[in-house]
Chains A and B, each alone.
Chain A
Amino acid sequence: MSEVLLKVDNLKKYFPITGGVLGRKVGEVKAVDDVSFFVKKGETLGLVGESGCGKSTTGRVLMRLLEPTEGTVEFEGQDLTKLKAEEMRRMRKEIQMVFQDPFASLNPRHTVEKILEEPLIVHGVKDKEERKRRVREMLEVVGLNSYHAKRYPHQFSGGQRQRIGIARALMTKPKLIIADEPVSALDVSIQSQVLNLLEDLQKEFQLTYIFIAHDLGVVKHISDRVGVMYLGRLVEITEADKLYENPLHPYTKALLASIPIPDPDLQQEKELLKGDLPSPANPPLGCAFHTRCSACMEVCKTTRPELVEIEPGHFAACHLYNK
């Protein structure tokens, strides 16, 4: 369980901002800015943060759906960022993705069978009968029926479609699945079904997940470790229990405080985040969070804090803990 499957070092993704008649580069959006973490085999790493903090971009850069600007992504000791296009294409057999919107991520003109069969076709399963058999098997595994194979995506509900999306990701028997907000587009009642399915599949196929979400409740339910992102940077990463019981970074504290408690009589004394997310095109100097931080010090405005191990296995990027 302790073997490292994926190791990300100093990953950066900057999007150029172009302007003017000639489309010259006038600036850049630092969507992912110097992110490092690792994922151990068989665990689930949750990535949380507000929208626009770069968590989805991180997922896409890991799969090289977007080319990273800098940094390395080591998968089983192999640097994905150095692979040629064709090598990367083959490598996708091992790393699959579940997308956020089950209505947009399935081609509306293909039957479920074709959608699920395609990963096998492109990764060299030549036998047609074998492909069909595996499609039917996989449908049963994700809780659909094999007779659904002939149908089109629009004939399914959101939850069912997401099951198809999960089935597609599983077809090539990958080792790592990057789930990009897989339940945020679903009804709450369906969310738990899909989460349970993901957990069951993890046990069944020894999967490793990177689970991207903005809902801390969902992440707590499924994750072994959780990383918190803010403005393209990782501000805290540790085991899920530790994070929820003993958050270190002020941003994490604020996020946890913002989880609604389903009790109308409860008077809450908590500090909620004020202000908006600063523009990633022009992030604040020093600690990116200092504009909204309740514990802001002088040093925060000038120096960017590094992600350091404050307790064993508990990393945070905050000057409060720098001795």
Chain B
Amino acid sequence: MELSTNKEIQVPIEPAEDKAVSPWLEAWRSFRKNKLAVIGTFIVLFFVLLAIFAPYIAPEGINEQKLTASDRLQAPSSEHWFGTDDFGRDVFSRVVYGSRISLWVGFLAVMGSIVVGCLLGIIAGYYGKWVDSVISRFFDILLAFPSILLAIAIVAVLGPSLRNALIAIAVINIPNFGRLIRSRVLSVKQEEYIFAAKAVGMKNSRILFHHVMPNSIAPIIVQGTLAIATAIIEAAALGFLGLGAEAPNPEWGKMLSDARAFLTQAPWTLFFPGLAIVLTVLGFNLMGDGLRDALDPRMKN
């Protein structure tokens, strides 16, 4: 198989590094250089650890009521770092446990909408024609409602509970992912390497899963991270409206809504859950922006 004539036309330029640099590794390198993104990642990690080790970190349980006047609505102190609420419960413990609910809801809801949205989006983008029209119109209908209103309507139909709030948030995010992946599939489908794959003699399924999918996934990761932030806010909003987590559960939005009555007497009952929401959402947003810069260099500048 050796060709003598190829000796003199050997590779002209050698790349500087000898090791293979996968696109993922390269993205990670550029992500690491982005300070804000790293800060965001640390914030997210912090809350994830908080959620995992909540029973070891929180000094009290979520519903240890102490109804004596000396325990109710206490200002932050060395004993109760974040103070106590109107039932004499330790706000710090409740905020720590609340991270479990918020992250859980955010993550599951986004996973749900990614799975459903991607499936619909890929089908719409790859097969086109009337299938595309039907699915795209479905997305349009979902997007025509203000998202929080649609979520309220869904929860109103299913009945208020944390699980139903999660389903509602998943549903309202479906069209975002669906449209995103559909447009990606449409553009990737026109790439020359897809033609090449076809010319080599690959089946549709192989082209779809080995060539179209891996090249469409990056914006989903970015959008997914940002969507977790939105989902957490939406869960808090539903909780605030009494349509999410039920009574003793320390959902951050619910805590805000409970604290409203004591705004002037005990602002700490409002401040700390609010701060937790802000920090988590900020963390996810910073991380998401960093991921976008790293994974999708065209979006830069």
Chain A residues with CB under 8 Å of chain B are 60, 63, 65, 89-90, 92-93, 96-97, 99-101, 104-109, 111, 118-119, 122-123, 137-138, 140-145, 148, 150-152, 154-157, 159-160, 165, 168, 172, 190, 193, 196-197, 200-201, 204
Contacts and interface: CB of A to CB of B under 8 A. Distances in A.
Interface of B: 1-3, 5-6, 9-13, 15, 19-23, 191-193, 195-203, 206, 210-211, 214-215
Nearest to A112: B20
Given A106-B193, A111-B20, A63 B199 contact: yes
B9 A143 contact: yes
11 contacts: A60-B195, A89-B203, A104-B191, A104-B192, A111-B20, A138-B1, A140-B2, A160-B12, A160-B13, A165-B196, A168-B200
A100 to B, nearest CB: 8
Contacts of B196: 97, 99, 105-106, 165, 168
B3 A204 contact: yes
A108 B215 contact: yes
Sorted from nearest, which 8 A-B pairs have the closest CB atoms?
A: A92-B201, A104-B192, A143-B6, A97-B199, A150-B20, A105-B192, A107-B193, A155-B15
A79 to B, nearest CB: 18
Contacts of A148: 11
Residue from B12, B20, B197 with most neighbouring chain A CB atoms (10 Å)? B20
Given A137-B1, A141-B6, A107 B197 contact: yes
A141 B5 CA distance: 10
Contacts, number: 111
Contacts of B21: 151-152, 155
Nearest to A199: B5
A63 B200 CA distance: 10
A105 B210 CA distance: 15
Given A92-B200, A154-B23, A204-B3, 5 more contacts: A107-B193, A122-B200, A159-B12, A160-B11, A160-B12
A200 B2 CA distance: 11
Given A89-B203, A204-B3, A152 B23 contact: yes
Contact of B13 (A107, A108, A157, A172): A157
Contact of A157 (B12, B22, B201): B12
A140 B6 CA distance: 9
B193 to A, nearest CB: 4
A107 B215 CA distance: 8
A156 B14 CA distance: 8
Nearest to B5: A200
A151 B20 contact: yes
Residue from B21, B197, B200, B203 with most neighbouring chain A CB atoms (10 Å)? B200
Given A107-B211, A107-B215, A111-B20, A119 B5 contact: no
Contact of A96 (B13, B199, B202): B199
A106 B200 CA distance: 12
Contacts of A159: 12
A151 B26 CA distance: 13
A155 B1 contact: no
Residue from B3, B20, B196, B198 with most neighbouring chain A CB atoms (10 Å)? B196
Contact of A197 (B6, B12, B191, B215): B6
Given A107-B193, A152-B21, A155-B21, A200 B203 contact: no
B215 A109 contact: yes
Contacts of A200: 3, 5-6
Contacts of B192: 99-101, 104-105
B202 A122 contact: yes
A163 B13 CA distance: 13
Contacts of B199: 63, 65, 92, 96-97
Nearest to A149: B20
Contacts of B19: 150
Nearest to A159: B12
Contacts of B203: 89, 122
Contacts of B191: 104
A202 to B, nearest CB: 11
Contact of B201 (A89, A99, A100, A104): A89
Contacts of B15: 151, 155-156
